[in-house]
Amino acid sequence: MKINFVKRLFFVLIQCTYGLGQTICGFVVFLIFLRKPHRIYRGCIDTMWDTCSGLSLGLFIFTPKKDFSDSQKIRVHEYGHCIQSIFLGPLYLFIGIISCTWAGLPYFVKMRREKKIPYTKCFVEHWASAWGEWITGEDAVWD
C-alpha cells in the first residue's frame, strides 16, 4: 500500500515538474470542462467529456463518458500518453503536435478512413497504446 502511494506521488511530482508545460495546458482544459465528471485514474485526473475522442496533457486526461463503447480502451491509450510525458518532459510537445496532426488534419482523417489505416499506425499512437497496455494490464484502443 505504501509503495503504491509513493509511486502515485512520484508520478504527480514528475508531471508537475518535468512535464510542467503539458500539465499547465491540461489544467486549463480541465478548468474549461470543470462541470464534467472527474475521477482519478492511476494518478491522473480523468475528465469524462461528451466526445468520442481522448486527450492527454501531463497530469490530465480527457476521455469519453462510460456509455461510449471504447471509453476504457481510450482511457488506457491516453494514460500511455501520460507515460510518454514522463519520459519526454518538454519534448512531449513534439508528440502532441504529431498526435494532433494525425488525429485532426482532414487529410489524415480521410486517408485513414479510405485506406482503412488504423489510428495506431502512427508511431506515437502505437507507442501510447503499447505503454498504456503494458503498465495497466488493460486493453487499449488499436483502431
CA distance 45 to 62: 8
Is this prediction's pTM over 0.75? yes
The pLDDT tens digits of the residues spanning 33-66 come to: 999 999 999 999 999 999 889 999 999 999 998 8
pLDDT band at residue 8 under the 50/70/90 scheme: confident
pLDDT band at residue 24 under the 50/70/90 scheme: very high
- Number of H helices and E strands in the chain, helices first, is 6, 4
CA distance 74 to 54: 6
Q: 117 phi and psi, to 5 degrees?
A: -90, 125
The pLDDT tens digits of the residues spanning 74-124 come to: 999 999 999 999 999 999 999 999 999 999 999 999 999 999 999 999 999
